[in-house]
A and B are shown apart, each in its own frame.
Chain A
Amino acid sequence: MAEMMNKSNHLLELDDFRFFFSTKDGLVKAVDGVSYTLDAGETIGIVGESGSGKSVCAMSIMGLNPTPPGQVGGGDIRLNGQSLLSMSEKELRQIRGNRIAMIFQDPLSSLNPVYRVGKQVGEGLMIHQGASKKEALRRAVELLDMVGIPNPAKRARDYPHQFSGGMRQRAMIAMALACDPEVLIADEPTTALDVTIQAQILELMQKMQQERGTAIIMITHDLGVVADMADRILVMYAGKPVEYGTADQVFYRPLHPYTWGLMRSIPKRTLDDDQPLTPIKGNPPSLIDLPKGCAFSERCPYLRPQCRHGRLRMQQVDEGHYSACLQSFESSFLLNSPRHDSEAAGADALGAVANGGAAQGFAQRGGTDG
């Protein structure tokens, strides 16, 4: 990934970033060597199971992980070439909610129950643009209108508990977009929502992105969610990146057995007897006591002796397509990919991923959410 590190004209750039937590049981390498770049108007999907480090990585961009017990273990995060890690808390505050904003998984618990929605949506404008209370509220009503909340002037005076789940997430999006941020981090934004609402929220985010050119980091455990939205996808496992490429590359020529596992555990639309779901066996490893060599080795059905040795790094297999699996270079190995399952079933699986994202996401969540 050397050529990526040298470019500094990206909007956001993570460069071999590491973030560790010291616990009484030992050092937890929650994020271990993550690199990616993001440009204006782009969407990157970060995919992985619970505990894969995707959320910690996102919170690091905001500088919101508690330190201690957390500490940066190395690497850098740059916004327009400027290192976020070397900024003071005061400088970071001017970026949070202003240039980088974030929305979260559970919109109800993410809104303060004792303040009116309008006040919370407009609060960022008062902090970052010096808007008066009245001005902030007026803009908040506009924002609520923009994210499709009916009768926004009246609803701005409501409290969060008076909103439905989907409306709350719309309000969160309005709040995040208030200061027109360059980067929007969405941490599992649809996980807590009904299936029908999930698609609406994703659609809204795409619409906002087209209108404003916001770059989006979409964090999810659900391949279906990123299928429609992401330009590029980073798959993470046990704090480490395992596969990185364009959405097409990752979906149509997946290189890493973990990515294959994620795809195979998505319920397909035509589920029949000879196409059972194939869950990934076992559980994610403890981050304190990772297996030697490849972190996925314990659960990998294609394990070879050499997987247990040395430290595995991401290697470029195709132009812009990286994998941490040693065997990704062997064309015979890649025949195991779900792409090469029986012709019809394989196409169906990928078709399902690419088209009906949100619907399968709901079913898949039962399996992988923790």
Chain B
Amino acid sequence: MLQYIIRRILQFIPVFLGVTIILFTLRAVIPGDPVRMIAGERAIPETTYQMIVQNNHLDQPIYTQYVYYLSDLLHGDLGHSYQKNRSVLDIFAEKLPYSASLALCAILVEIIIGLLVGIISAIKKYSFIDLLLTLSTSILVSMPVFWLGMLLQTFFGVWLKGWTGGALSLPVSGAGGPISAYPPILHYILPAVTLASVSLAFTARIMRSQLLEVMNQDYIRTAFAKGLSKRAVIVKHALKNAMIPVITFIGIDFGTMLSSAILTESVFSWPGIGREIFLAIGQRDWPIVMGGVVLIVIIVMIINLIIDISYALFDPRIRYGKKKAE
């Protein structure tokens, strides 16, 4: 097992190099003078210009710049924001708790509602409720995240408020705080649901098809033949088998969720890393964009490793590392 983990961590290296090289190339290709980004709109003396060039190694060839960047990265330095004159790491450290807590809420929503909807659809297959749930998940899957976010804002923030004379509404922007009229927990609802929406719909559909497939297996017939009730058969014998592909999906999908967090956080003005990256893209603030992507890549790789390891908990047929052949 330990051997497996070490091997997987070593595999991080080429992925990591690949991603950073692509980003670096992109930065070089996209027009815009970095010095102007750093210095701003005002005219600057030539000496200052040269100083900025030298400090940022901009006079070096691009591969040398890349080596500088990697070396900084290995020292835990993600660079300096062009616009904010702060270290990228500092900015992210401040934003991370917001993003992490939102992502956690979204995953909880995805798992709880997604699994529940999938299980109900499978148990009541071809019924009206199954049709309704399948239709809803189809719509959710095909709906752009930012548009769903705006719809929810309009409905819960504007219309509902109007209908109930202001008695009922949900916050549509920000993460709460002293100036907010709502308790902080309410601020999570709409962004978390929006962020979870697409993944939730996929989770429900995979859960449904997996459970239906597992229910046709011979060992389910055996369980019925033992005298178990349908409920016990599903809970004890079917779910654990059906969960394995669902967990795979949730793991793989985590990266997708992080990228839709950029849109969701922007729509809801959520003060997290996603919104920071969104703003930085508009301002060509490369260190933040690159730092953000690097951070996301690292998180996705770690989560995938954890998911792979957790298979072994669900499926005894999977054992990592060397073991005597069966």
Contacts and interface: CB of A to CB of B under 8 A. Distances in A.
A94 B227 CA distance: 6
B227 A127 contact: yes
Given A112-B219, A114-B240, A161-B326, A102 B225 contact: yes
B213 interface: no
B319 to A, nearest CB: 10
A94 B221 CA distance: 16
Nearest to B244: A114
Contacts of B182: none
Contact of B225 (A62, A112, A115): A62
A114 B227 CA distance: 19
Interface size class on chain B is: 20 to 34
B88 to A, nearest CB: 45
B225 A96 contact: yes
B247 to A, nearest CB: 13
A128 interface: yes
Contacts of A159: 316-317
B241 A113 contact: yes
Contacts of A104: 218, 221-222
Contacts of A101: 225-226
**Residue with the greatest number of chain B CB neighbours at <10 A, chosen from A110, A128, A161:** A110
Interface in B71-99: none
B224 interface: yes
Task: Indicate the member of B218, B227, B229, B316 with the most A CB atoms within 10 Å.
Answer: B227
B315 interface: yes
A109 interface: yes
B217 interface: yes
B222 A110 contact: yes
B316 A114 contact: yes
Contacts of B315: 113-114
A162 B323 CA distance: 13
B237 interface: yes
Contacts of A114: 240-241, 314-316
Contact of A97 (B218, B225, B314, B316): B225
A113 B242 CA distance: 12
A97 B241 contact: no
Given A114-B240, A159-B317, A161-B326, A96 B227 contact: yes
A337 B326 CA distance: 49
Contacts of B9: none
A147 to B, nearest CB: 16
Given A64-B224, A97-B225, A110 B317 contact: no
B218 A106 contact: yes
Contacts of A111: 219, 222
B210 to A, nearest CB: 13
Contacts of A97: 225-228
Contacts of B221: 64, 104, 110
B223 interface: yes
A240 B225 CA distance: 25
Given A106-B218, A162-B326, A96 B226 contact: yes
A102 B237 CA distance: 18
Nearest to A124: B226
B223 to A, nearest CB: 7
B73 to A, nearest CB: 42
Contacts of B317: 113, 159, 161
Contacts of B316: 113-114, 116, 159, 161
A354 interface: no
A116 B316 CA distance: 9
A202 interface: no
B313 to A, nearest CB: 10
Nearest to B217: A109
Interface string B200-233: 0000000000000000011101111111110000
A131 to B, nearest CB: 13
A127 B228 contact: yes
Contacts of B218: 104, 106, 109-110
Nearest to A100: B225
A114 B229 CA distance: 19
B219 to A, nearest CB: 4
A72 interface: no
Contact of B229 (A93, A106, A175): A93
16 contacts: A64-B225, A93-B229, A96-B224, A96-B226, A97-B228, A101-B225, A101-B226, A102-B225, A109-B219, A111-B219, A113-B316, A115-B240, A123-B228, A161-B317, A162-B326, A172-B222
Interface of A: 62, 64, 93-98, 101-102, 104, 106, 109-116, 123-124, 127-128, 159, 161-162, 172, 175
Interface of B: 217-219, 221-229, 237, 240-241, 314-317, 326
Given A96-B227, A161-B326, 12 more contacts: A64-B224, A64-B225, A93-B228, A101-B226, A109-B218, A110-B218, A112-B237, A114-B314, A123-B226, A127-B227, A161-B316, A161-B317
